[in-house]
Structure 1
């Protein structure tokens, strides 16, 4: 979708100056927009006794962004050693961090338990014996199988590598209780970029019903349910945004009814990433070539190593040409320079006529943009900037250099004879 009017109003007048100072390409994020979304999320679930967002670090793993989330009172959702380290460097401690990994190695468990620990969210019943000392608080990720549908991005639950099956879930908590756990949470993650809020309401309802079933079977109480992430954003201008207010109201009603039946209300956790930062970022590039053959191609100074969603998912990202109106348009492909024909930011897009040195703004790159970067063809990832609430612009990650690329070739010789 087009950038929010407040982001555009503050960014666009200064964009030529920013480009002149920093050079293109770059990702730029809007601090005030991120903070406003944080406030909206918090308000939507203010009727639940214990609500907490654990920001999905994988969406935008930049310390400056994590600092904003910490300042807004949110925790961190991590799935690797480095994400745990980043979250602790941002000030996350103990139960402010949820570690949800899959195919977890022993080194990752060691990092999870270090430096004050975290909420351990196990992806499979087979991992429980591999945890040498089961923490007091334990959580499992639930996969409902054919009981629920997924969506195009994350796939159907029966084909998903994630989670404990319905047939295993009671036994998982039975074993955790036998190993000494006394506090319990329940987690799931079934959709990605979901715009129908009712899907998330159904997920909360499913988990609350499962909590009742497990509690009755094992005589345990659940401190929280975590409905995961997956809240969607409207990438296309004609899409309606997710109705956060309606979602909050209907989920709150479920929790109030649960409390009336059982005398207590579990906490509600979630781990949104894209919803929190996705609409508050843009990839700013410059047109450097124009090629007219069977199609017209506009070559820009970034490639899919800076934003691979269009190539990976066929995803749409809205594009504006700075300073140009829609009066005179042309159908073009907007492409990078990788030796891959799917290195395209837009395919047969109707855009204002683009000339060399025009600035293009690729919208909604605040999640799964820079984070999914790579170095194929030796391409280097661009810098990241933050448009701060005080109207300053700050460099929050420098661009990669050739020295970075070759750094892993600087090592001590190590050979074994077979």
Structure 2
């Protein structure tokens, strides 16, 4: 089975004439259509809002597209808050979900009027001390144990550093109410990148029942429940894809079954999707620099793990298309590598592909989230450009590639700076 890229070889060559490979390319049309599907799936909930996880793709052009489609932003750091502010996200269009939070980060979130999602019971006092208690505040839940779906274990919240126990949630709500909070949110993240349509409805059921218990125990007004992220994508062509319409319907049934009878039918639902929103609508476009034939057949790209860390870090699968050879038989077996001095710098191992030659242009699929954003400078590698494929078929450079000056910029405090700039 094959995945179909959203560009042809001819389109790629037109972009490469302006922006040399490697670069991350994003499909505006696909991003917009996907955001509209999500909102349609949850249209039954009057207060529904998606808070895009900025960490997945921190580019202002992408954030503005999502803003135009009704999305807010989920931030976890000072710089993500700055980026969101620069894109004109305001107040409750921003969700701040952080942990081990520095003072200045919390103060910035409070200053912006963001929804603040407290990760720990001790953060109630911390928030009051460094900023203040807003009228609406959120707390993050960790149920402990393992999270299973059917007969399969999805994840292990008991080993996760995030969130509060239910006892702590109840105490936090009471303490926050005593300090002036009037409305509350509940948040939890129990599994990552699952394509099981049952995940969100199961999570929703857990959080809806928690909301009922907390409401009864504290009298707190539950304003929203944030299902966070975790809805995944089909990285491999043989994987099932998440059906967002089925997911939305499954959550609706849990809402009607649990919250409505408890008198909580006005609760708004939020999501914090990153991967689902962007991953399928991004390609890492790279050119073959070398081929090598020893014990195995290798092809080496001008991209490396510094441009896409996931295969080296997690052993993750990313589908590869050789542009212009989509219809040729995949009758060769290659390791597809980058040029880092690390043997795990491989985008694919023993991957069936068409015959590849130096100069071929390859697309690595599903890099729109956690692609560029996880880049780094090991081996002195420079981060790539980012390009937007616009709805009308034209392209726009939305982040230039790094230069050596960027790499050396933080040495401007040293006597080496003039020499690094080519001086004496």
Match of 1:145 in 2: 144
Aligned length: 409
Q: Does structure 2 conserve the Cα–Cα contact (< 8 Å) formed by 1:70 and 1:91?
A: no
CA offset at residue 263 of structure 1?
A: 5.7
2:79 aligned with 1:111, yes or no? no
Post-superposition offset of 1:2: 5.3
1:193 aligned partner: 193
Query: Aligned residue for 1:166?
Result: 166
Match of residue 25, structure 2, among 15, 23, 28: 28
* 292-301 vs 146-155, greater mean Cα deviation: 146-155
Q: 1:380 to 1:211 in 2, by over 3 A?
A: same
1:97 matched to 2:94? The reply is yes
RMSD value, Cα: 1.9
Aligned residues of 2:148 and 2:154 also touching (Cα < 8 A): no
- Deviation of 1:396 after TM superposition, in Å, equals 0.3
Write the deviation string for residues 68-112 of structure 1: whole angstroms up to 9, x where unpaired.
011011100000001111111111100000000011111111111
Mapped contact 1:60–1:366 kept (Cα < 8 A): yes
Seen in structure 2, the aligned counterparts of structure 1 residues 337 and 149 have a Cα distance that, compared at 3 Å, is same
- Asked if 1:50 is matched to 2:47, the reply is yes
Deviates more, 1:322-331 or 1:197-206: 322-331
DSSP-derived class of the 1:197 partner: coil
- The correspondence for 2:59, drawn from 59, 62, 82, is 62
Distance 1:167 1:354 in 2: 59
Q: How big is the shift at 1:252? A: 1.2
What is the rounded CA distance, in whole Å, between the counterparts of 1:81 and 1:367 in structure 2?
Answer: 20
Tell me the alpha carbon deviations over residues 213-263 of structure 1, each in whole angstroms, 9 at most, x when there is no partner: 011011111000001101110000111101211111121122234224416
- Aligned to 1:201, what secondary structure does the other structure show? helix
Report matched runs for 1:352-363 at 5 Å: 352-363=354-365
Is the Cα–Cα contact under 8 Å of residues 212 and 262 in structure 2 kept in the other structure?
no
Q: Which residue of 1 aligns with 2:379?
A: 377
Cα 1:127–1:297 shift into 2, 3 Å: same
Instruction: Please tell me whether residue 270 in structure 1 is matched to residue 282 in structure 2.
Output: no
Question: What do residues 320-360 of structure 1 show as CA deviations (whole Å, max 9, x unaligned)?
Answer: 11111332621110001111100010011011111100111
What are structure 2's unaligned runs of at least 5 residues? Answer: 416-424
Residue 416 of structure 1 corresponds to none
Tell me how far apart the structure 2 counterparts of residues 201 and 256 of structure 1 sit (CA, whole Å).
12
Change (3 A) 1:267 1:328: closer
Structure 1 residues 60 and 306 mapped into 2: Cα distance closer, same or farther (>3 Å)? Answer: same
Q: Give the deviation of 1:167 after TM superposition.
A: 3.0
Indicate conservation of the 8 Å contact 2:3/2:237, yes or no: no
Structure 1 length-normalised TM: 0.94
3-state SS of paired residue (2:230): coil
2:237 is the alignment partner of 1:237: yes
- State the alpha-carbon separation in 2 of the partners of residues 334 and 403 from structure 1: 30
CA separation in 2, counterparts of 1:367 and 1:12? 23
Find the residue that maps to 1:334 and give its secondary structure: strand
Name the counterpart of 1:38.
35
Deviation per residue, 1:43-72 (Å, 9 max, x gap)? 001111210000000010000000001101
Structure 1 residue aligned with 2:420: none
Q: For residues 186 and 282 of structure 1, do their structure 2 counterparts lie closer, same or farther at Cα, with a shift above 3 Å needed?
A: same
2:330/2:352 contact within 8 Å kept: no
Aligned partner of 1:396 in structure 2 is 398
Q: Which moved more, 1:248-257 or 1:22-31?
A: 248-257
* 1:292 equivalenced with 2:299 (yes/no): no
TM-score normalised according to structure 2 size: 0.93
For residues 217 and 161 of structure 1, the distance between their equivalents in structure 2, rounded to whole angstroms, comes to: 26
Residues 284 and 362 of structure 1 are in contact (CA less than 8 Å); yes or no, is this contact kept in structure 2?
yes
Aligned to 2:223: 223
Contact 2:146-2:153 within 8 A present in 1 as well: no
Give the Cα separation in 1 of the matches to 2:73 and 2:186.
17
Instruction: Say if 2:173 and 2:220, in contact at 8 Å, map to a contact too.
Output: no
Q: Distance in 1 between the 2:330 and 2:180 partners?
A: 69
Q: Distance in 2 between matches of 1:16 and 1:297?
A: 24
